[in-house]
Amino acid sequence: MRRAFSSILLLGLSSFATAVFQDEVDDIDFHHSLFGVPQAETTFFHRPRKDDKASLLYTLGDVGVFGAVNPSNGEIVWRHQISTDTTIGGGHFRAPEDEDWVAAAHGSTIQAWNALTGRNSWHANFAGEVKDLEILEVTETGRKDVLALSDEDGVTVLRRLHGKLGTVVWEFREQNKDIPLQVSTNIANIYVISLHGSPSSYSLKITSLDTLTGSRVNDWTVGTKGEVHGPQDVMFVGANSAAPLLAWTDSSLSKLSVHVLGTKGKQEIALGAETTGVVIHAPHLTQSLPHFLVHTKTATGGKGEVYHTNLKNGQISRAYELPHLKGENAFSTSSEGANVYFTRITEDEILITSSESPAVLQRWPLAASSHIKPRHAVSEVIKKPGGEEFAIRSAVTTVSDDWTLVRNGNIDWSRPEGLSGSVGAVWAELPETESLAKALEEEAHTNPLDAYIHRVNRHINDLKYLPAWIQSIPTRLIDSLSGETHRDTSLHRDSFGFNKVIVLATRRGRVYGLSTANAGKVIWSANVFPQPEGQSFELKGLVAKGGESSVVTLQGSKGEVADINAITGEVLRVVTSGSSIESTATIQGENGVWLLALDPSGKPVGEFPNGVVPKETIVVRGEGEVIKGVRFDAGEDGAAAQQTEVWQLQLLPGQRVVEVAVRPSHDPVASIGRVLGDRNVNYKYLNTNTIVVAVLSDDDSVLSIRLVDTVSGQILASQSYDGVDGSKDVSCAISENWYTCSFFGQYLLNDGSGQTIKGYQIISTDLYESSAPNDRGPLGDSANFSSLNPVDSPTQAPLPFVVSQGFVAIQPLTSLSVTQTRQGITGRQVLAYMPESHAVVGIPRQALDPRRPVGRDPTAAEMEAEGLMKYWPSLEIDPRSIVSHERDVIGINNIVAAPAIVESTTLVVAYGVDVFGTRVAPSGVFDILGKGFNKFTLILTVLALFGGVIFLSPMVRRSQINKLWGE
């Protein structure tokens, strides 16, 4: 009996490291590698090789990922993160004309990268935040240098950095209280623009510097009459052109003030009455004509006006106007030699004009099916040799946060960049084939006899599908034999349960539906909570209702609630109450689960559905560093529900909660005990009402990991670790009867040498009912328990027996999570993101087993029964256990697992900047025939055997008769 059991275990062990096979890539997994929504000022076409006409498309997205995209197919050439964390907009990204490098800056770092390979050529770090980055195109050496403007606590610093080496050529410092804004160059000078004065009446201060030495040549101020209130109000265009501009509008958007750098004074352009926004487009090259376009947006559409700058006296004059068109409009500038082309992209066509004349040079209609609503775009216009024909390709950022390349009016590719910056994801079940689900439900609610008759009738009814089914057999057989899999991309449940919908909410308030049935493609997206500029949607709760409804409920921090159909993306309900929401709890109600929203003081917001007061103890964060348990009791005769505080976990001063790990919602336990090598049983401590709270005390850097009973608030187990770095990520996960945490700390060796080991540690703790085998602890065989009830034995509280062990990992492991399978029989894996390798790893639980014997080899029985290996302090991460294999997965914040119908497999989605989804089988896919199973050979073998029997049986019969008869 036990042997059979352990042989199953052994089966699990044999596939201890299940690697992803090459033919499974893109079949079981998918990956959206993203940049974030491209920002207008950091997106451009650039030729990475001087002597090659081919150009790449570069961008720095709003989540801080920059890199190059092949414009012909939309595939990433290279990609890097500008900072270790996800950014919210900002950053600088520039490319020098005809050079093979690009420069990027964020925070205090400036980096230069090879434009073709994405290899780093240099990086520099200075005090203060980089405010602007510009390329010095014309220098005395013929080399191109980088200009970096930084703000070091009120000191404006401009550095010229060597373009090839990153060394400082010269430095300009100015000690004043001005706010540095921009740096620009024209052929003669470098201009530093800063805001001067007080916030109520800023004036623009322009300092011109000598290119060669960085010494001040001149400075002047331009009054703004209180129209500029901060850095965001100043528009600045044409950084390296012959006539760079500064522009700003007044608060009522009635006029636009323009200052041409290098001249004195400003010029005003009157704007229309309905103007809602102004954008200025100008070429970035010194050889381009000094023309610029003012794009005036209105509520219904937009128009463009082209102005020419007279280089001699700095006067601007209106050349022509592009008429007002309805719908979303985007303009972009491209230059070829001295010519400047303005491209206008509307919802139904693309047209290009020269900056010289209003005549439309060429126009391409856009197919109505393309649904492009442009927000901003970059374009590359090429005049075809020997003719008036033009070729154009535009990378358009659309209103729906997609990044689409339109070439001559056709859509070449589209990247769902809006998927980046996701803040929450949930797995939603697909509906079963409708009729069957309904029929089964009907049968479940009638008495057995009726149900039986109904079923028989149903099966007789089903007979009419039999001929069609029989007809389909040959094709299915051939498909099955040839190994061709017709992926069923319809949104219906498959028999393995692999097809599900991932509902993903992003910080831009947009919600996406991805289907695993067709390789993680976006099946719908909806801008459920449109966010104003500069604000992020803060997700507080996201839950799938479950059952047959496939409805997903979202709860935002500002009281926004939405119900969305996960299959169609239909927004069923959006309510914005405006009350601030601190947290939400998932409550199991009568009709599926619902979200209970709580305000910062821990009081429920809104009514309870059907007036049913939740019976659960709700664990909330109190004011300050407190965790408390709250209960609701129904008030008498319709009075409001009473809220009672049941317990409080108060921390000492200087301590803070750095991580709370909650059990996954689906966490079944297959066996309540653990069979040891000697056939004894250690009973698992299975208390579902437990959470892991990691408390860090900043004064002495002690991390205390506590297991807290959520009903009574009792601390059931606690471990302390010294020398933990609080600035680094602490991540925990809890499942079944164990929990695990990873952090960076230093470990004091207990060999008396006083040596410490610094490193990323992962600790693993098992909880058992009792230290003695075959003992169920003080509660014995009682069928249920309450954490609030006293125990008869006065000396023993039902505390778990704790076995804990620590391991040193070679790199940080963040976003810990545990795989979930349908019945919990399959072994578990700890899923983690490795930010230094850009990989998602599944560490087998056996590797993190705290019962691994220390200082001795495990006995054969231990190895067989428990799968124990000898303890080794360093946790080697087997490359085969990296579920993201060679994919470069960036910026993962969270990993969510969900069970499939087959026991062996867990569905996993990791999100953050990128979205990566895969299927993980911790004990191997023992319940599915793999692709390697050769059905053809099997059938051939059976046929050969059958043929052999047919052929041999007369021979055998004859020889038997002959034998009987003698010769």
Binding residues (CB under 8 A) for other proteins: these are 1-3, 583-588, 596, 598, 614-621, 627, 629, 660, 662, 669, 671-673, 675-676, 679-681, 686-689, 691, 710-711, 773-774, 776, 779, 781-788, 966
Residue 302's nearest CA partner among 334, 343, 346 is 346
Residue 711's nearest CA partner among 689, 729, 696 is 689
Contacts with 821 (C-beta within 8 Å, 6 or more apart), sequence order: 668, 828, 899, 900, 903, 904, 905, 906, 922
What stretch of H or E contains 957?
helix 935-965
Q: Which is nearer to other proteins, 186 or 690 (CB)?
A: 690
Task: Give me the least distance between CB of 856 and other proteins, in Å please.
Answer: 23
Task: Give me the least distance between CB of 660 and other proteins, in Å please.
Answer: 5
Residue 130 buriedness (CB in 10 A; 0-12 / 13-18 / 19+)? buried
Task: Give me the least distance between CB of 712 and other proteins, in Å please.
Answer: 8
Rounded to an integer, what distance in angstroms lies between the CA atom of residue 694 and that of residue 744?
A: 13
Task: Give me the least distance between CB of 929 and other proteins, in Å please.
Answer: 26
Q: Which is nearer to other proteins, 712 or 811 (CB)?
A: 712
Q: Which is nearer to other proteins, 28 or 585 (CB)?
A: 585
Yes or no: say if 353 and 342 are a contact pair by the CB < 8 Å rule.
yes
CB atoms under 10 Å from CB of 452, counted, come to: 12
Task: Give me the least distance between CB of 865 and other proteins, in Å please.
Answer: 8
Contacts with 120 (C-beta within 8 Å, 6 or more apart), sequence order: 111, 112, 113, 114
SS3 at position 468: helix
SS3 at position 527: strand
Q: Which is nearer to other proteins, 665 or 837 (CB)?
A: 665
Task: Give me the least distance between CB of 732 and other proteins, in Å please.
Answer: 12
Task: Give me the least distance between CB of 284 and other proteins, in Å please.
Answer: 49
User: Crossing angle of helices 434-444/448-462, nearest 10°?
Assistant: 160
User: Crossing angle of helices 466-482/935-965, nearest 10°?
Assistant: 100
Q: Which is nearer to other proteins, 404 or 682 (CB)?
A: 682
Task: Give me the least distance between CB of 651 and other proteins, in Å please.
Answer: 14
Which 8-state DSSP code applies to residue 822?
A: S
Q: Which is nearer to other proteins, 191 or 647 (CB)?
A: 647
Rounded to an integer, what distance in angstroms lies between the CA atom of residue 906 and that of residue 908?
A: 6
Residue 152's nearest CA partner among 123, 189, 120, 178 is 178
Task: Give me the least distance between CB of 507 and other proteins, in Å please.
Answer: 20
Q: Which is nearer to other proteins, 299 or 783 (CB)?
A: 783
Rounded to an integer, what distance in angstroms lies between the CA atom of residue 702 and that of residue 678?
A: 38
Q: Which is nearer to other proteins, 138 or 676 (CB)?
A: 676
User: H-type helices in 445-575, by residue range?
Assistant: 448-462, 466-482
Computed over its alpha carbons, how large is the radius of gyration of the chain? 34
SS3 at position 639: coil
Yes or no: say if 217 and 206 are a contact pair by the CB < 8 Å rule.
no
Task: Give me the least distance between CB of 52 and other proteins, in Å please.
Answer: 55
Residue 913's nearest CA partner among 942, 933, 893 is 893
DSSP secondary structure string, 835-873? TTTTEEEEEEGGGG-TTSPSSSPPPHHHHHHH------S
Tell me the C-alpha to C-alpha distance, in Å, between residue 363 and each of 304, 337, 348, 386, 445. Answer: 16, 22, 11, 19, 64
Q: Which is nearer to other proteins, 252 or 642 (CB)?
A: 642
Contacts with 534 (C-beta within 8 Å, 6 or more apart), sequence order: 89
Contacts with 443 (C-beta within 8 Å, 6 or more apart), sequence order: 451, 454, 455
Q: In this structure, which amino acid lies at residue 851?
A: R
Rounded to an integer, what distance in angstroms lies between the CA atom of residue 304 and that of residue 281?
A: 10
Q: Which is nearer to other proteins, 513 or 556 (CB)?
A: 556
Task: Give me the least distance between CB of 837 and other proteins, in Å please.
Answer: 29
Yes or no: say if 662 and 734 are a contact pair by the CB < 8 Å rule.
yes
SS3 at position 636: helix
Task: Give me the least distance between CB of 836 and other proteins, in Å please.
Answer: 28
Task: Give me the least distance between CB of 893 and other proteins, in Å please.
Answer: 16
Q: Which is nearer to other proteins, 491 or 598 (CB)?
A: 598
Task: Give me the least distance between CB of 857 and other proteins, in Å please.
Answer: 20
Yes or no: say if 748 and 765 are a contact pair by the CB < 8 Å rule.
no
Q: Which is nearer to other proteins, 616 or 914 (CB)?
A: 616
Q: Which is nearer to other proteins, 416 or 424 (CB)?
A: 424
Q: Which is nearer to other proteins, 411 or 675 (CB)?
A: 675
Q: Which is nearer to other proteins, 237 or 618 (CB)?
A: 618
Q: Which is nearer to other proteins, 419 or 618 (CB)?
A: 618
Q: Which is nearer to other proteins, 257 or 584 (CB)?
A: 584
Rounded to an integer, what distance in angstroms lies between the CA atom of residue 627 and that of residue 714?
A: 12
Task: Give me the least distance between CB of 768 and other proteins, in Å please.
Answer: 13
SS3 at position 956: helix
CB atoms under 10 Å from CB of 389, counted, come to: 12
What stretch of H or E contains 10?
helix 2-14
CB atoms under 10 Å from CB of 374, counted, come to: 24
Task: Give me the least distance between CB of 710 and other proteins, in Å please.
Answer: 4
Rounded to an integer, what distance in angstroms lies between the CA atom of residue 804 and that of residue 883?
A: 27
Task: Give me the least distance between CB of 671 and other proteins, in Å please.
Answer: 6
Q: Which is nearer to other proteins, 198 or 782 (CB)?
A: 782
Task: Give me the least distance between CB of 603 and other proteins, in Å please.
Answer: 11
